Amino acid sequence: MYNVVRLVNISPAFRWAKDAKVNNKRRPLVAGNWKMNGSAGLAESMRSTFATAQLNKVDVAVCPPFVFLHALADANVALGAQTLSEYENGAHTGEISAQMLKALDCQYVIVGHSERRADQHESNGLVADKVAMALAAEVTPIFCVGEPEDIRDSGNLYEYLAAQIDAVVSHVGIDAFEHMVVAYEPIWAIGTGKTASPEQAQDVHRFIREHLAKNNPAVAQGLRILYGGSVKSSNAAELFGQPDVDGGLIGGASLDPEEFLRICQAADS
Ligand SMILES: O=C(CO)COP(=O)(O)O
């Protein structure tokens, strides 16, 4: 399904990964995932909170439900969606295509979030198809991986994560990761208040980078790997301070514009 030719002819505007790496340092990204929350009012208050925010060294994105994307258009944050269809167009009632997101100026789309893997039974293969669709439309996938607690406890953490990553690598190719963001979100840390320790996050982020580096060291080095799972302003700086943690994917705390701004400020250094 994935069209390699289109990626080779990718537009200069999509080659952000080059710009995202300044002086050999990856530029952090903080993305808010509202999940099935929020309102037009929240979009408005997010817009006004960020209108005057002085953030220089961090990229910020907000991923509201589809119906509020327009309410954040031209705000002082990049737009992201929470999922997309694996189909290009046609008779797929209720689906939203990559091209539609592009037309709305969505720069990012979350793909493979654990809640969709669980609720909508999205398999590694389907996630790979969706990543390919996003790439073909030049919308940057925020590709999520993460383990349930029993997998971590059983000692199979790295095999589990490698299978999630390899499904996408084998479908779109390692070079496509130049146009992607990866998010590590341990399922046991999502919405639980139980954050991974900075050391736990760093260990997994380093594993992800080294795993990808086996195929393309330069792409792995430039890749932004976000941490997600109970990030708050009180723990953000320490998490973002880890060498392989390049920002965060924020759930609950992104529903409070002031708190979300504080988390973005923690990455702005
Ligand atoms: O799933 C998440 C972001 O995608 C994390 O959610 P919380 O920040 O609410 O734990």
Catalytic: 147?
no
Answer yes or no: is pLDDT of 86 > 80: yes
Q: Per the domain annotation, does 139 fall within a domain?
A: yes
Q: Per the domain annotation, does 92 fall within a domain?
A: no
Contact between 142 and 31 under an 8 Å Cβ cutoff? The reply is: yes
Looking at 86, 147, 178, 185, which residue is catalytic?
Answer: 185
Q: Per the domain annotation, does 95 fall within a domain?
A: no
In angstroms, what is the span from residue 191 Cα to ligand 1's centroid? 6
The protein residue with its alpha carbon nearest to ligand 1, atom 8, reads 251
pLDDT recorded at residue 201: 98
Q: How many domains does the chain have?
A: 1
Q: Per the domain annotation, does 93 fall within a domain?
A: no
- Alpha helices (runs of H) in the chain, residue ranges in sequence order: 4-8, 16-19, 40-51, 98-103, 114-119, 124-136, 149-154, 157-172, 198-213, 217-222, 233-240, 257-266
Q: Per the domain annotation, does 23 fall within a domain?
A: no
CA-to-CA dists, residue 142 to 37, 53, 87, 109, 149, angstroms: 19, 24, 18, 6, 22
* Pairwise CA distance, residues 128 & 111, whole Å: 9
Work out the average pLDDT over 24-36: 94
CATH code where residue 179 lies: 3.20.20.70
Please give the share of the chain, as a percent, with pLDDT higher than 70.
Answer: 91
Cβ(191) to ligand 1 under 6 A? yes
Q: Per the domain annotation, does 9 fall within a domain?
A: no
Catalytic: 185?
yes
Q: Per the domain annotation, does 217 fall within a domain?
A: yes
pTM greater than the 0.90 cutoff: yes
Q: Per the domain annotation, does 166 fall within a domain?
A: yes
Q: How confident is the model at residue 219 (pLDDT cuts 50, 70, 90)?
A: very high
Answer yes or no: is pLDDT of 237 > 50: yes
More confident residue, 212 or 11: 212
Mean pLDDT for the chain?
93
pLDDT recorded at residue 21: 56
Contact between 178 and 140 under an 8 Å Cβ cutoff? The reply is: no
Contact between 153 and 159 under an 8 Å Cβ cutoff? The reply is: no
Closest by CA to 225, choosing from 203, 241, 248, is 248
